[in-house]
C-alpha cells in the first residue's frame, strides 16, 4: 500500500497541493507547518480542570500513531484524563482512536475498537506483545497500565490482567517496548512518577513547594515522593514476568520517572534504556547482557545538565542529527531551564551541547514536553521540534513574563552541530500558543511529508502538515522482523544517498507520553535514490539493499529484503473476539 509522492498529491488536490506547488518556486524557503486539524475531521477534546490545582491534572496528554489495521496508513490514538473531582465522583474521560480514511480525513472508531476508557490515561505506546504482527497498544495510567491486544486490526481487548500487568497500581507515565534479552519478543519497561493519593492531596499553595515566583500553585513535583519502575520480560505466551530487581532497573531511588526509551546507544547490538526523571538525574541503563543492566547516567554524562544540576526531564527525542551513526538525546524541560541536547560521542559517552548548539538560550522561557528530531524539509538533516505549555494557569495573571499557553518551537539543523531557531518562520499556525503535551511524527498521508500530531492538555489536538519549501526527495521503510520481533523494534537502518549518510532506529515510545509512526523516514535532499541501505536487525543479522528509488515506501523483511508489504503484515484480519 505504498504510494509515491505524485499519487499522494493527486489524492489531496485542492489547497494542500497548491501550497506544495507554490513552495517549489522558492527552494530556499522553509516548508510551512500548516494547521490542518479542521480538515482531518478529528474532533477531540482533552479534558482539563481550569485551575490545575493538582499536578496530576497537568501531566496527561499523550498521542500514539498506530497503524492498527496494518493498511499502511497511520491511525491516531489520543489519551484523555479526568480531573480529581471527576475521578472521585467516578466520572471517566474518553480517550479516542481515529482511523485514517486515506483521503486526508479520519473517523472516530473508539467505541467499536473498545479503547475509549482505559483509565486515567497519560500516555500510549505501541508494541506487539504477542508477536502476531498486529500492533498492540499500551496505555499508561494514573493507577498502572492497560494493555490492549489488537484483535486482527478490528478491535482491541484489555488483556492487562491476563498478561500479568494488573499488579501495577502506581502512577505510570512512560513506557516502552523493546527486546532487551534478544529472544525475539518485545519486553516492556514502565516508568512511574509520584506516589500520589487522591484522598490525601497536598493542598494548593499550601507550602513552599506549591509556590512559583510568589504565586500559589499546585504542589509538586518537588517534595513529592516517587515510585519505582518496572521491567517486564515477555514470556512468549502472552504474559510478562516482572524482572525489575534482577535486571537492576527498578529505580530503587524512586525518582519521578517520565519518558523511557530503548535504544542501542553504542551500536553494540544490545539495546540500552534511557529514563528521564523529573527534577532528578536521568538514568542510562547499559545493557550488560544476560538480563542485567548497569546504571551509568553520571559516567555517561546524561544524568544532569552540563554544570551538574538536575533538571525537570520530560520529553525525550533520539536522533542522529550529526550523521555519526549514533543517536543523540534531546530532552525538554521546565522554564528557566532549557531544552537539553546531549551529543552522542560514542562508547556511551555524551556531551551536553545545549549551549554550543544554540538550543539552550532559545528554550529557557518555555516549559517543553513532546519533542522529536524531525527532518521537516527532507533535506537529509534532522531538525528538532518541541511543543510547549506551562503547568500553572495562574502564571497568566501574575504578570511575570511567563504564560500558560506557549507556542511550539522548531530548530533547523545548520549541519555544523548548531541549530537555528526557525519557530517564527514556519507558519502562523505553529505560532499559536497552546498548552502542548504529546507530540508524534508520521507521514499520515503517505506523501513524503511527516505530519506533526500534537495533543494539547487543554482543548483540541493540532495536526501540522509540512507544505512548500524545497522539493526534496525522501524514502520510507516499514520493517518486518522474522527472527527479530515482528515490528522490528530497535532495528537500525543506515542509508547512504550520495554524500548523505543517515541512521535511524525503529522505536517504541519517545517524545512525551507518545508514539511516532514505526516506519522510518529519511529525507534525501536532491538525491533521487538511496544508493545503499543497510538494515541491522535486533537478532544480529543485517541486510544491504542497493539503488532504491526515492519518494516511496519500502517494506523490508528480515532475511528477505524488499518485499510486497503484505509479506510483512499479518494475514487477513481475524474475527474480533
Partner 1 sequence: MLYVIHVGRFALIALLPWLSLFGQDVAALEAQAAKYLQEQKPELAIPVLEKIVALDPRNVNAQANAGVLLFFQDRYAEALPHLRAALALHAELSRIEALLGMAERRTGQSKEALPHLERSFSGLDDPKIRIQVGLELIELHSAAGRFENALSVAGTLEQLAPQDPQVLLSAYRLARQMMDQSLMSMMVAGPESAEMHMILGGELARRGDRENALVHFREAIRLKPSLPGAHFQIAEQMRSSPDPALNAQAEDEYKAALRVNPYDELAWRELAGILNAKGDFEAAEEDYRKALALQPNDSEAKTGLAIVLIATNRNSDAIPLLESALKDDPTNMTAHYRLSGLYRRAGRAADAEREMAAFRHYTEVKDKLGTVLKQLVGPAGAK
Size of the site for partner 1 (CB under 8 A): 29
296 binds partner 1 (CB under 8 A): no
Among 39, 49, 209, 496, binds partner 1 (CB under 8 A): 209
Comparing CB distances to partner 1, the nearer of 169 and 206 is 206
Of 108-116, 198-206, 490-498, 505-513, which segment contacts partner 1 by CB under 8 A?
198-206
| Nearest CB to partner 1, comparing residues 203 and 432 | 203
Minimum CB–partner distance for residue 305 and partner 1 (Å): 9
**Length of the chain measured in residues:** 577
Using the structure block, give the residue that is written with the C-alpha cell 507530540: 439
Residue from 81, 314, 360, 513 touching partner 1 (CB under 8 A): that is 360
Based on the shown chain and the rule CB under 8 A, indicate whether residue 368 belongs to the binding site for partner 1: no
Tell me if residue 85 falls in helix, strand or coil. Answer: helix
Does 203 bind partner 1 (CB under 8 A)? Our answer is yes
Q: Does 405 bind partner 1 (CB under 8 A)?
A: no
Tell me how far apart the alpha carbons of residues 233 and 248 are, in angstroms, rounded to a whole number: 13
Distance set, CA 249 to CA 50, 102, 327, 329 (Å): 37, 41, 21, 20
Q: SS3 of 113, please?
A: helix
267 binds partner 1 (CB under 8 A): no
- The alpha helices in 368-412, defined as continuous H runs, are 395-398
Smaller CB separation from partner 1, 101 or 364 = 364
Task: Retrieve residue 521's grid coordinates.
Answer: 523516514
Of residues 56 and 172, the one with the C-beta less far from partner 1: 56
* Nearest approach, Cβ of residue 322 and partner 1 (Å): 15
Is residue 461 a contact point for partner 1 (CB under 8 A)? no
Residue 499: CB minimum distance to partner 1, A: 24
- Asked if 225 is part of the footprint of partner 1 (rule: CB under 8 A), the reply reads no
Any contact of residue 339 with partner 1 (CB under 8 A)? Answer: no
Among 50, 90, 214, 547, binds partner 1 (CB under 8 A): 214
Residues 147 and 130: their CA atoms lie apart, in Å, by 11
Q: Could you tell me which of 385, 513, 383, 388 has the C-alpha nearest to residue 438?
A: 513
Among 88, 207, 252, 563, binds partner 1 (CB under 8 A): 207
| Residue spans of alpha helices (H) in 139-286 | 244-247
Footprint on residues 298-317 left by partner 1 (CB under 8 A):
298-299, 301, 304, 306-308
135 CB neighbour count, 10 Å cutoff: 25
Cβ proximity of 110 and 126 under 8 Å: no
Q: Report which of 302, 267, 307 is spatially closest to residue 287, judged by C-alpha positions.
A: 267
Q: Are 520 and 165 in contact (CB under 8 A)?
A: no
- Kindly identify the residues of this chain, within the stretch 512-551, that bind partner 1 according to CB under 8 A: none
Pairing state between β 473-480 and 328-331: unpaired
Stretch that binds partner 1, among 84-92, 228-236, 358-366, 514-522 (CB under 8 A): 358-366
Q: Does 358 sit near partner 1 (CB under 8 A)?
A: yes
Residue 223 or 540 with smaller CB distance to partner 1: 223
CA pair distance 437, 9, nearest whole angstrom: 30
Choose which of 14, 50, 401, 547 interacts with partner 1 (CB under 8 A).
401
Between 321 and 419, CB nearer to partner 1: 419
CA 133 to chain centre: 21
As given in the structure block, the three cell numbers for residue 548 are 532504491
Site for partner 1 (CB under 8 A): which residue of 84, 86, 356, 573?
356
Under rule CB under 8 A, residue 237 binds partner 1: no
Q: CB-hemisphere CA count at 13 Å for 288?
A: 11
- Asked whether the beta carbons of 369 and 388 are under 8 A apart, the reply is yes
Binding residues vs partner 1 (CB under 8 A): 202-203, 206-209, 213-214, 223, 298-299, 301, 304, 306-308, 335-336, 349, 355-356, 358, 360-361, 364-365, 400-402
Amino acid at each position: 500500500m505504498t504510494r509515491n509522492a505524485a499519487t499522494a498529491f493527486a489524492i489531496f488536490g485542492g489547497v494542500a497541493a497548491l501550497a506544495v506547488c507554490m513552495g517549489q518556486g522558492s527552494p530556499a524557503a522553509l516548508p510551512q507547518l500548516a494547521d490542518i486539524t479542521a480538515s482531518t475531521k478529528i474532533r477531540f477534546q482533552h479534558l482539563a480542570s481550569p485551575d490545575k490545582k493538582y499536578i496530576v491534572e497537568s501531566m496527561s496528554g499523550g498521542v500514539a500513531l498506530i497503524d492498527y489495521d496494518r493498511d499502511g496508513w497511520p491511525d491516531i490514538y489520543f489519551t484523555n484524563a479526568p480531573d480529581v473531582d471527576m475521578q472521585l465522583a467516578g466520572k471517566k474521560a474518553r480517550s479516542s482512536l481515529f482511523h485514517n480514511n486515506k483521503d486526508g480525513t479520519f473517523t472516530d472508531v473508539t467505541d467499536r475498537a473498545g479503547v475509549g476508557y482505559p483509565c486515567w490515561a497519560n500516555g500510549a505506546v505501541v508494541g506487539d506483545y504477542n508477536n502476531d504482527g498486529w500492533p498492540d497498544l499500551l496505555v499508561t495510567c494514573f493507577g498502572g497500565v492497560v494493555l490492549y491486544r489488537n484483535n486482527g486490526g478490528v478491535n482491541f481487548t484489555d488483556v492487562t490482567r491476563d498478561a500479568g500487568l494488573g499488579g501495577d497500581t502506581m502512577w505510570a507515565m512512560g513506557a516502552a517496548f523493546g527486546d532487551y534479552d534478544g529472544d525475539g519478543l518485545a519486553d516492556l519497561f514502565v516508568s512511574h512518577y509520584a506516589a500520589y493519593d487522591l484522598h490525601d492531596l497536598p493542598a494548593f499553595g499550601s507550602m513552599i513547594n506549591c509556590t512559583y515566583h510568589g504565586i500559589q500553585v499546585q504542589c509538586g513535583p518537588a517534595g513529592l515522593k516517587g515510585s519505582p519502575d518496572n521491567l517486564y520480560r515477555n514470556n512468549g505466551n502472552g504474559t510478562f514476568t516482572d524482572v525489575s530487581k534482577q535486571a537492576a532497573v527498578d529505580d530503587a531511588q524512586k525518582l519521578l520517572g517520565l519518558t523511557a526509551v530503548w535504544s542501542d546507544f553504542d551500536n553494540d547490538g544490545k539495546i540500552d534504556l534511557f529514563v528521564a526523571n523529573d527534577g532528578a538525574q536521568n538514568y542510562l541503563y547499559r545493557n550488560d547482557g544476560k538480563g542485567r543492566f548497569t546504571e551509568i547516567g553520571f559516567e555517561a554524562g546524561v544524568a544532569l545538565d552540563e554544570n551538574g544540576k538536575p533538571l525537570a526531564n520530560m520529553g525525550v527525542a533520539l536522533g542522529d542529527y550529526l550523521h555519526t551513526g549514533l543517536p543523540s538525546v534531546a530532552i525538554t524541560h521546565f522554564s528557566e531551564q532549557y531544552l537539553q541536547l546531549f551529543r552522542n560521542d560514542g562508547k556511551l559517552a555524551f556531551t551536553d551541547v545545549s549551549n554550543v548548539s544554540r538550543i539552550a538560550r532559545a528554550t529557557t522561557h518555555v516549559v517543553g514536553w513532546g519533542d522529536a528530531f524531525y527532518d521537516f524539509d527532507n533535506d537529509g538533516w534532522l531538525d528538532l521540534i518541541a511543543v510547549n505549555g506551562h503547568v500553572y494557569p495562574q502564571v497568566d495573571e501574575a504578570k511575570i513574563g511567563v504564560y500558560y499557553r506557549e507556542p511550539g518551537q522548531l530548530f533547523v539543523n545548520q549541519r555544523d552541530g548548531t541549530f537555528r531557531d526557525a519557530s517564527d518562520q514556519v507558519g502562523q499556525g505553529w505560532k499559536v500558543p497552546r498548552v502542548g503535551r504529546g507530540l508524534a511524527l508520521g507521514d499520515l498521508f503517505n506523501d513524503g511529508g511527516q505530519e506533526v500530531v500534537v495533543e494539547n492538555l487543554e482543548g483540541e489536538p493540532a495536526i501540522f502538515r509540512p507544505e512548500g519549501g524545497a522539493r526534496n526527495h525522501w524514502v520510507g521503510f516499514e520493517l518486518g522482523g522474522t527472527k527479530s520481533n515482528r515490528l522490528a523494534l530497535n532495528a537500525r537502518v543506515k542509508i547512504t544517498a550520495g554524500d548523505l549518510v543517515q541512521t535511524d532506529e525503529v522505536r517504541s515510545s519517545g517524545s512525551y507520553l507518545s508514539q511516532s509512526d514505526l516506519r522510518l523516514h529519511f529525507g534525501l535532499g536532491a538525491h533521487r535514490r538511496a544508493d545503499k541501505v543497510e538494515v541491522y536487525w535486533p537478532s544480529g543479522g543485517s541486510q544491504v539493499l542497493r539503488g532504491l528509488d526515492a519518494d516511496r515506501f519500502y517494506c523490508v523483511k528480515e532475511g528477505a529484503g524488499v518485499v510486497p508489504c503484505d509479506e510483512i503484515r499479518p494475514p487477513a484480519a481475524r474475527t474480533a473476539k
